[in-house]
Amino acid sequence: MITKEKVNIKPGKLFIDGKWVDSVSGKTFNTINPATEEVLTMVAEGDREDIDHAVKAARKAFEEGPWRKTDARDRGKILLKIMDLIEKNKEELAWLETLDNGKPISETTTADIPLVLDCLLYYAGWADKIHGETIPVRGEFLNYTIREPVGVVGQIIPWNFPLLMAVWKIAPAIACGNTMVLKPAEQTPLSALRLGEFSQEAGLPDGVLNIVTGYGPTAGAALAEHMDVDKIAFTGEYITGRLIMQAASKNLKRVSLELGGKSPNIVFADSDIDSAVNGAMTGIFFNQGEVCCAGSRLFLEKSIHDEFVDKLSDKASSLRVGNPEDAGTQMGAQISKEQFDKILGYIDSGKQEGAKLVTGGERCGNKGYFIKPTVFDEVNNNMKIAREEIFGPVVSAITFDDVDDMVRKSNFSIYGLAAAVWTKDIKKAHKLARELKAGTIWINTYNTFDAASPFGGFKQSGFGRELGIHTLELYTQVKSVWINLGN
Ligand code: NAI
Ligand code: MG
């Protein structure tokens, strides 16, 4: 078993064209451990020029490199080799992620890393199964289609699941034969850089994957605007999503966006209450609430409301919050001072707007960005805490007794990423699965994922689906070929 002390935390460089380089400006920035507020290491601060170098390398690798001629099955093999390297180094990676992000080691070990491995395995399998079709057109012609890679892809990812988000982006892009420039979140650059090393060791040709660490408004914006990038894939805040779309319009690059949510978690009186309570716990406190599909609006049917809130607040107040390095810790630190302050700000706003604070609502300890699991009751769907994405361990309970009114309220949001329903009545469950406006519907479960099942949003939660077969659409384009068989 590898221990924290064995994790190799070294200063990070940019990974461009298969080489590890400093930024053009020579600037660096620190990445911190949010549980201790201490600096872990420094990382190169990429900016516009570095992005330009990375895009040029990706372009060259796409047009001229061996990548073009690499057999599809061998692209899959490279993904399998990356998977093997991650598997071999999984303890180190779990530690790296815990130290850089503040999430518990139990979680990086049992959730992040296994999901990463599955995603690589899944897309490795797709690499040689992406093909066109022969189409029965009118006349003496042979018409067929080819599914080609889109080209140079820019990928901008957030800090909540750093390695997983990197792999959600690069695995399908590699399977489809693209080249890419990945910009990790400035808060959590370390696991992506390690992934760069593994990709090289696995035999991914130089320039296919380039990684530029840096800030959003500089490096990120330069990537989104770049005239020689064919597609941009983004996960993050919806406001940033708008900026990405605007920037992408400069050369009409393709865009896919996975943005935030304010997902309703709906509990009926005819559900198994104890499993629904557990589901509500996972829904909001998993990953410190830093989950785009968190069940942050908890709709409770009136007759079970009191029992439910009692059970939930008991569990929430006994959740083990603290040192992410302890095996028994269930909730770690929030990512940054900025997010910590933002969450506490929302808690204040909830109190001011008249919601009832049942448990939590304050900092936990006096070092590190820990916040107590927080339950608000008597929330009205129009309050700020019910409308805006908090991205922290704060749940808002809303009571209902009229189902139609509840559905209307559930759907009354700019977001539509996920929704969950707890009931034993299958008719009701399927009916609501149709009526709720969200890209994922969970029935009697929450935060369930699989590399094979599509994930993405309705409304301002974004567009394009990641995971599953659907991502292949994002990373390929169709070419129609006509052959005259007549005179
Ligand atoms: P953000 O959207 O600003 O950052 C996500 C990524 O976008 C990072 O890599 C960042 O460097 C980059 N970025 C930022 N501004 C950019 C720009 N102008 N052009 C190109 N790239 C840019 O999210 P942030 O500020 O870290 O978190 C703020 C809020 O966003 C959170 O409180 C949460 O509500 C939401 N969020 C949602 C996520 C999701 O998974 N849907 C993930 C992270 C944050
Ligand atoms: Mg931001």
For residue range 68-84, what is the model confidence (pLDDT) as tens digits?
A: 999 999 999 999 999 99
The whole-number pLDDT of residue 197 equals: 98
Q: What CATH number should be reported for the domain holding residue 275?
A: 3.40.309.10
The residue whose C-alpha atom lies closest to atom 9 belonging to ligand 1 is: 185
Residues 342 and 467 in one domain: no
The tally of domains found in the chain comes to 2
Residues 270 and 418 in one domain: yes
Report the C-alpha gap between 244 and 31 in whole angstroms. 24
Report the C-alpha gap between 18 and 204 in whole angstroms. 9
Residues 146 and 287 in one domain: no
**Number of the ligand 1 atom closest to the C-alpha atom of 215:** 11
Is the minimum distance from the CB of 388 to ligand 1 under 6 angstroms? no
The secondary structure element, H or E, covering residue 62 is: helix 48-63
Catalytically annotated residues: 258
Residues 425 and 475 in one domain: no
What spacing in Å lies between the alpha carbon of 237 and ligand 2's midpoint? Answer: 7
Structural domain of 192:
4-259+461-480
Residues 233 and 332 in one domain: no
Residues 279 and 165 in one domain: no
14 found inside a domain: yes
Residues 127 and 238 in one domain: yes
Is the minimum distance from the CB of 259 to ligand 1 under 6 angstroms? yes
Residues 236 and 318 in one domain: no
The whole-number pLDDT of residue 335 equals: 98
Average pLDDT score over residue span 287-296: 98
CA dihedral of 134, 125, 476, 415, whole degrees rounded to 10: 120
476 found inside a domain: yes
Residue 382 has pLDDT above 70, yes or no: yes
Residues 233 and 270 in one domain: no
For residue range 161-180, what is the model confidence (pLDDT) as tens digits?
A: 999 999 999 999 999 999 99
196 found inside a domain: yes
Residues 326 and 376 in one domain: yes
Residues 174 and 317 in one domain: no
Residues 87 and 173 in one domain: yes
**Number of the ligand 1 atom closest to the C-alpha atom of 186:** 11
Residue 232 has pLDDT above 90, yes or no: yes
Average pLDDT score over residue span 363-372: 97
487 found inside a domain: no
The whole-number pLDDT of residue 487 equals: 83
For residue range 190-203, what is the model confidence (pLDDT) as tens digits?
A: 999 999 999 999 99
What spacing in Å lies between the alpha carbon of 201 and ligand 1's midpoint? Answer: 30
Residue 306 has pLDDT above 80, yes or no: yes
Is the minimum distance from the CB of 127 to ligand 1 under 6 angstroms? no
Report the C-alpha gap between 140 and 132 in whole angstroms. 20
195 found inside a domain: yes
- The pLDDT-based confidence of 1 (bands split at 50, 70, 90) is low
Nearest ligand to the CA atom of 338:
1
Q: Determine the angle formed by the axes of helices 162-175 and 72-88, rounding to 10 degrees.
A: 160
Residue 285 has pLDDT above 70, yes or no: yes
- The pLDDT-based confidence of 6 (bands split at 50, 70, 90) is confident
485 found inside a domain: no
The whole-number pLDDT of residue 3 equals: 73
